[in-house]
């Protein structure tokens, strides 16, 4: 996802932007699949149900909020600001994974 964001930020044409989006999407899909495995490794029984429910609720609110945030960034800044935001989000997430996981 990190590499895809960098490609999108510096994309000189639409074809490169599509390629960067494809790479970014692959990284995001991998993260979306891995959380289930991580939760099953860390939690069991009732704790798995509780924290899985919390994550599902969080995802339910994030999915509709993402286009709103993207539209805000694109309107008030530049279209590349969406990818800069995602790059920063990815870096913060990776830092948290390295230090707290």
Domain boundaries, position 65 = 2-100
Task: Give the number of domains in the chain.
Answer: 1
Mean pLDDT value across the chain: 88
C-alpha span between 42 and 3 (Å, rounded):
28
Structure tokens at 35: 């959380």
pLDDT 10s digits, 25-70? 898 888 777 877 888 888 888 988 888 888 888 888 888 888 899 9
Asked if pLDDT for residue 87 goes beyond 90, the answer is: yes
Contacts of 73 (CB under 8 A, 6+ apart): 81, 82, 85
Asked if 2 and 94 touch (Cβ cutoff 8 Å), the reply is yes
Instruction: Quickly count: other Cβ atoms within 10 Å of residue 82's Cβ.
Output: 20
Q: What is the pLDDT of residue 32?
A: 75
């Amino acid at each position: 996802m990190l590499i895809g964001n960098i490609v999108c930020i510096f994309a000189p044409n639409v074809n490169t932007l599509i390629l960067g989006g494809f790479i970014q999407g692959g990284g995001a899909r991998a993260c979306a699949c891995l959380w289930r495995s991580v939760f099953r490794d860390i939690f069991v029984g009732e704790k798995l149900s509780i924290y899985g429910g919390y994550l599902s609720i969080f995802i339910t609110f994030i999915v509709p909020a993402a286009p709103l945030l993207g539209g805000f960034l694109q309107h008030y800044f530049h279209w590349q600001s969406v990818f800069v935001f995602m790059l920063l989000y990815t870096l913060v997430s990776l830092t948290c994974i390295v230090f707290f996981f």
